[in-house]
Amino acid sequence: MANQAFLSPEKYIRTKARSLPIYECIVNAGWQDSGIASIFIARKHSNGNITYGSYLIDIWCLGLKDTAYRFNIDIDEWEEIKGQPDEQGEGVELIDYNLAHNIIFGGIEFANDYEFKPHKDFSLTRFILEEDDERIPVEDVEFGVGGKAHLVAFAEDYKAQAALNFLKANFEEDAFTYAAG
């Protein structure tokens, strides 16, 4: 029997995750009204386990704020994770992969127009997603508010405050809106 090389979770995701079938895609209920889409893309291994990527998208301004993954978890653990309510007590909705893909990549592209880059861990979690090319149909998702970036910046959120300072320093006043708390 030949020895199989062990792949770390990161190496597996980079080289093999896209070959796993999409199992489910979920997003927090009310994402369009809140401006924050918390998306989970689950892929199913042949052993029945799940590897998923999570993507926190600020669809109004900052794009991909956070991303993470879990590798080869039991299906029961996946069911428990997706059953957890979000911070506002909302549940999740099943969505098709194309919509999830369009929210993630569209949010990144919109934020890039304002020079905001995706979270650093996207260099890995992007491999849980399909390649962003013409095989994924474009779906209409509204980014920004009224076509402009809209930043919600609370006083205690230093990253949002830094983003607001950046917008004020680098863009015309009518290029974005903001709400400060």
Is pLDDT at 6 greater than 90 in this prediction?
no
Reported as a pLDDT band with limits 50, 70 and 90, residue 87 is low
Average pLDDT over residues 29-54: 96
The rounded mean pLDDT for the chain is: 92
Reported as a pLDDT band with limits 50, 70 and 90, residue 77 is very high
Reported as a pLDDT band with limits 50, 70 and 90, residue 91 is confident
Tell me: do 112 and 169 sit in the same domain.
no
- pLDDT tens per residue, range 138-178: 999 999 999 999 999 877 788 888 999 999 999 998 999 99
Q: Which residue segment(s) compose the domain that 102 sits in?
A: 9-144
Tell me: do 129 and 170 sit in the same domain.
no
- pLDDT tens per residue, range 46-70: 999 999 999 999 999 999 999 999 9
Tell me: do 23 and 72 sit in the same domain.
yes
Is pLDDT at 2 greater than 60 in this prediction?
no
Reported as a pLDDT band with limits 50, 70 and 90, residue 1 is very low
Using the 8-state DSSP alphabet, how is residue 6 labeled?
P
177 part of a folded domain: yes
Tell me: do 19 and 106 sit in the same domain.
yes
Distance CA 163, CA 14 (A): 31
Burial of 6 (0-12, 13-18, 19+ CB in 10 A): exposed
Tell me: do 78 and 152 sit in the same domain.
no
Reported as a pLDDT band with limits 50, 70 and 90, residue 5 is low
Are the CB atoms for 180 and 153 separated by under 8 Å?
A: yes
4 part of a folded domain: no
Is pLDDT at 131 greater than 70 in this prediction?
yes
Distance CA 52, CA 92 (A): 15
Average pLDDT over residues 29-49: 95
CA 133, 40, 65, 103 dihedral sign is positive
Tell me: do 129 and 150 sit in the same domain.
no
The CB density around residue 133, as the number of other CB atoms within 10 Å, is 6
pLDDT score, position 24? 97
2 part of a folded domain: no
1 part of a folded domain: no
As a three-state string, the secondary structure of 48-104 is CCEEEEEEEEECCCCEEEEEEEEEEECHHHHHHHHCCCCCCCCCEEECCHHHHHHHH
